[in-house]
Structure formats: C-alpha cells, structure tokens
Structure 1
Amino acid sequence: MIIFDFDQTLVDTSSVEHLRAARNWKAVMASIHELPVYDGIAELLQDLHEAGQTLAIVTKSPDMVPKEFIKLHRWPIDIVVGYHQVIRKKPHPEGLNLAMSKAGASSKDTYHVGDQAQDTEASRNAGVVAIGSAWGCVDIDELIESGPDAIFSSVVELHDYFRAELGA
C-alpha cells in the first residue's frame, strides 16, 4: 500500500495556502481547477495501481479537496482520509492507521510519501516506510532532519524507486 500526503506532494497548493490557513474551503474548492498537479504524478499513480498497489491519501485538509482531484484526473485512489475522519492529526498515526485498516494492509507493506517532518513522524509512529517528497517541500532542511527512509527531489526519482522496490 502507498499512502500519499496531498498538499505539496501530489498537488502544488501553495497559491491557496492562505485560504487553507484561514479554513476558507469554499474558496479553495473554487480555485481547484487552477492548482497544478506535479509532473509525473498521474503516471506514477497509474503504474502503482497497475502493479497491484492500493493507493490512499491522508491529509490534514477536508477530504473534499483530494476527492475532487481524484474525480477530475481519474486517479486510481479509493481511500481518502481527511480532517474530519480523524480525531488526532499528523504526526499522530491515526490517519495512516485508518487508511491501512480500510485497505486491509499491514504496516510492514506500507509506504507513506509526504513533504513535511510531521509526515515522517507519522510514518514512524505507524511503523511504515517514510518517504520524503522534496519537490514541493517548503522547508527542505526540516524534512531532511526528520530522517525519512528515503527522500526524493523529483517525482521521476520516486517513480524509479518504486519500480525498483515494487516493480511499478
């Protein structure tokens, strides 16, 4: 199973960060068509899906934002855990554990891809492989210092890693 963070990992949401911080989700949703997906994400998700991997998104945002992207881009992601599905947010592992439970996956076969130190910490707390996505990262030094199992500066590098690890 591969669990992705959403903001700054799959989609560049930096232009609406001020709206997210203000919890103006209506304005975020109105801007959704303007938010760019990082190059290579669609291919990565499709290849992982075709290799038999269950894909999920765990985000601190409400689930309506990633669900709209899944619909718009026809991403093969069936599990989305957002703000309203958990009591404790990252770095607590509740969201990751819920996604794994929904998929029937074990922590030893799960990877979590995220752009922040709290993603690494959540991965550690859930016992899954922590992967740092530096391509949209706001604070690369903090991500590096958090000590993910692997860190990649591009989606292409991550894709190559999963090809080697999983045949995807």
Structure 2
Amino acid sequence: MLKLAVFDVDGTLVDSQGDILASMEAAFGSVGLDVPTRSQILSIVGLSLPLAMARLVPDATDAQRDQMVESYKDAYADLRRKGGHAPLYPGIGDLLTRLGGHDNLLLGIATGKSRRGLDALLDGLGLPVRFVTTQVADDHPSKPHPSMLLTALRESGVEAKDAVMIGDTTYDIEMAQAAGMHSIGVAWGYHSQEKLSGSNLLAKDATGLEQAIYEILGEFT
C-alpha cells in the first residue's frame, strides 16, 4: 500500500527567511511603502504572494499589490542568482534520503512558491530524492485551501488516510485538515508551536520528524 508524505518548503525544508525579508523590502520599496516588521512578514509565509500582500497592506490598490508581487519575485530570483540557494535545516537532507529509500513511500511538495522559484531551489539543492508531485501557488488557490493536497493525492494515487502533510505554519495544518489528511507541525519554522496545536504531532528536529512520520503512516518497505 502506497503512502505519501507532502512537505512545505519555506520554514520546513529550507531556512529562507533572510531572502524572504530582503525580497519584501524590495517589494515595498518599489511602491514607496514602509516595510512591515519581521514578525509580520514571517506570519504570512506559506500564503500565495497576492494573498500575502493583501494581508500585509489591505489598503493598497490592486496596481500597487501587483507591482509588489512582481518586485518580490524579481528580487528573490536575483538573490538566487547572486547567492545560491537557502540552506536546508539540520538533518533534513539525510532525512529525505532515508525516506526516499522506501519503496512504498512517495514524497511530495505543497508550497506557496511559484514554479520558477521551486524549480530553481530544487535544482540548487540537488536533493538525492524524487518528489512525485510538486504543487505550487501558480496552479492553486492559496493555502489553506486544500486544492494542492487534493491534487497531490490524485497524482500519487494515495488515499487521504495514508498521507501526511508536514509544515511549519497554521496554513499547512488547516490545509491538511480540509483535505482529510494527517498533519505534522515542525517547531523550527516561522509559526510558534502554540499555533501548530491543531497538528496530529509536533516535531522538534529532523529525528523527531522521522519518528512522527513512521508513527502516523506506519512501517515502510
């Protein structure tokens, strides 16, 4: 029986907050608005960019928000070209390698990144695993809408009861609940542990995450 583990990216697999903060500074500067605080910016990580901008500046015009989205994307891509990729969190590379060695465990991604951003990140990381399904903001409503996970389930041929969503924000947990999937919150990301209380389990490091995946999905071959 196939199982599926779906990962968020920013704040879960990679620590990209430095790039996110710098790109937001460029986005707000492009329309002459004051940059929000670090905590305000990190609170919207995981949402699609249009929704994130709407949350951060609800009084901005549509034209301003469109400009901010494009400026953010350009700044983020420029940072990738100049500085390489955001680093994996400790132990994540080895964890993915071990998980990828199971014949009946499939791996997937559900992220608020664009396809361009995700492809560039995965190319830069050179991970020794294959993600059989990768869902991005270009193709779906923003988290916590379950569209990403429902599509991941269809593409992988796995039932919701045999799948788990792993993420660092309330948006990931609520998305999993809406899709009828289990969820694991990770304590090293951008939302507090208290906000992740709706998850089935909470992992404090990569070793704990591996144990949580086994606990929820069972044994693998």
Do the two structures share a fold, i.e. TM-score over 0.5? yes
Equivalent-residue separation in structure 1 for 2:15 and 2:163 (angstroms): 24
Q: Which residue of structure 2 lines up, in the alignment, with residue 70 of structure 1?
A: 122
Which amino acid in 1 is paired with 2:149?
L
Stretch of structure 1 that moved more, 17-26 or 30-39: 17-26
Higher Rg of the two aligned structures:
2
Stretch of structure 1 that moved more, 48-57 or 64-73:
64-73
Q: For 1:125-163, what per-residue CA distance to the aligned partner results, in whole angstroms no more than 9, with x for missing partners?
A: 11111110111233332122xx10000111121123335
In 1, Cα distance between equivalents of 2:183 and 2:121: 24
Q: Which amino acid aligns with 1:73?
A: L
Q: Which residue of 2 aligns with 1:5?
A: 8
User: What count of residue pairs does the alignment treat as equivalent?
Assistant: 165
* Residue type at the aligned position of 1:25: K
Matched residues in 2 for 1:34 and 1:106: separation? 33
Cα deviation code 1:39-89 (max 9, x no counterpart) = 111111111111122111111121222222322223222321111111x22
Give the partner amino acid of 2:196.
Answer: L
Q: Normalising by structure 2, what TM-score?
A: 0.68
Structure 1 vs Structure 2 CA RMSD: 1.9
| C-alpha separation in 1, matches of 2:108 and 2:116 | 14
Gaps of 5+ in 1: none
Identity %: 25
Aligned residue in 2 for 1:41: 92
Q: Which runs of 5+ in 2 are unaligned?
A: 25-52, 54-67
Structure 1 residue 167: Cα displacement: 4.2
1:155 corresponds in structure 2 to: 206
Instruction: Select 2:101's aligned residue among 47, 50, 57.
Output: 50
